[in-house]
Amino acid sequence: AARRVMAGSRTKKSGSKRQFVAMGAFENELGVQQPVGFWDPLGLSKDGDAAVFKRRRISEIKHGRISMLAAMGYITPTFAGKFPGYLSPSAGLKFADVPNGLAAISKVPVFGWIQIVVYALYVEASSLNFGYFDEANSKLVPGDYGWKPPLLATSVPELRKKRLNAELANGRLAMMAIIGMFFQDG
């Protein structure tokens, strides 16, 4: 049976009002799938803080998307080959010279890493609409980062929920897969 936990109590840090919900209130949230149902082995949601749960769900979707891209990026060069030409003409480094997996980290030139970091910061800032984290996260809907991919985005609520549930499941699998690939690389 669900019980109420600190409904509308004040936090010590900011004095702002936080919303706490009934224990067991997350069983109908996005990502709760059969046969496991709502699974929280570490008890991270036992305090019932809805804002913290929402932030974690937003992070889970984002990390799942990154992991799906990482897993594909990890295996694609093996099957599809690498780009022809030079990764860094000034260093004489060809794409074919860069190994797959974690070994590639040491081969990418410093300016390449600077480009990667700047682009990652831009993507992160644009997903928050160039706002501050707390302000922007409070306005975000899990899974909606302002970009509507063709054939995936929909305005039909049930279809959107079904697709986000599938994306969460695939993202969770991809997070485990990329960690397994890293581990296998040594």
Residues 74 and 101 sit within 8 Å (Cβ to Cβ): yes
Could you say which DSSP state residue 90 is in? G
Q: What is the DSSP letter of 94?
A: E
pLDDT band, very low/low/confident/very high, at 21 (cuts 50, 70, 90): low
User: For residue 141, which phi and psi values (nearest 5 degrees)?
Assistant: -105, 130
**pLDDT of 13 above 80:** no
Cβ burial, residue 113 (10 Å; 0-12/13-18/19+): exposed
**Higher confidence at residue 34 or residue 71?**
71
Mind listing the pLDDT tens digit for each residue in 29-63? Answer: 767 777 777 777 777 777 777 788 888 888 888 88
Give the model confidence (pLDDT) of 78-118 as tens digits: 899 899 999 889 889 999 998 888 888 889 899 999 999 99
pLDDT 10s digits, 137-168: 566 676 666 667 777 777 788 888 888 888 88
